[in-house]
A and B are shown apart, each in its own frame.
Chain A
Amino acid sequence: DGGITQSPKYLFRKEGQNVTLSCEQNLNHDAMYWYRQDPGQGLRLIYYSQIVNDFQKGDIAEGYSVSREKKESFPLTVTSAQKNPTAFYLCASSTGSRYQPQHFGDGTRLSIL
């Protein structure tokens, strides 16, 4: 079945530690996105990539980094510079054509130990 796979489902970070969230898709989508959702809040865009080897900052990129070396993969690293990382992280993809909806993985919940 085609879809978006995020791992792990739950992740705990120690102070000063970088952690990496995985996102893989087999939908042959060109565009991929990372969002953060805090309890009772909407989705906020962290980074997005419209094509391999290229990505752009979203609205809250500070303390995060990404790479897009393969079409299928768009990992997100939460660095120690992100002082409030506890949130629900969602990866999405779309065809990359303008005005298209996005489809989401089932998310990773990150907490601080």
Chain B
Amino acid sequence: RKEVEQDPGPFNVPEGATVAFNCTYSNSASQSFFWYRQDCRKEPKLLMSVYSSGNEDGRFTAQLNRASQYISLLIRDSKLSDSATYLCVVTSMDSSYKLIFGSGTRLLVRP
């Protein structure tokens, strides 16, 4: 089983839609969780950390469910510029200094 699993998509949504991605992880001892965004042929960029109580940053909301070992990302009022691949990232089983990156979920926002 992969340490981090994501639906590769693509999710194809119209502008203004709300879209949600889930990600499951296998290490129940993971302490840190992040969402990164990666544009085509570019480096990943940190979108937001995910806190136990859930957190929001503008149109983006992240949730953590430790019992079921999944994290989610909700994007409201999608913009064309949100089109990208979203990477789910968790702390490795081997070391708290290592991160494990999911393969990503691709989002396409159409006009």
Residues of A in contact with B (beta carbons under 8 Å apart): 31, 35, 40-43, 45, 48, 50, 58, 88, 90, 94, 96, 98-107
Contact = CB atoms under 8 A, between A and B. Distances in A.
Interface of B: 4, 31-32, 34, 41-46, 49, 87, 89, 91, 96-99, 101-104
Determine chain A's interface SS by DSSP, over half rule: loop
A15 B99 CA distance: 32
Contact of A99 (B44, B87, B96, B104): B96
Given A31-B97, A42-B103, 17 more contacts: A35-B101, A40-B103, A41-B103, A43-B87, A48-B97, A48-B98, A94-B97, A98-B96, A99-B31, A99-B96, A101-B46, A101-B49, A101-B99, A102-B46, A104-B45, A106-B42, A107-B43
Contacts of A107: 42-43
User: In the complex, which of the residues B34, B42, B98 has the most CB atoms of chain A within 10 Å of its own CB atom?
Assistant: B98
A34 to B, nearest CB: 12
Contacts of A42: 4, 87, 101-104
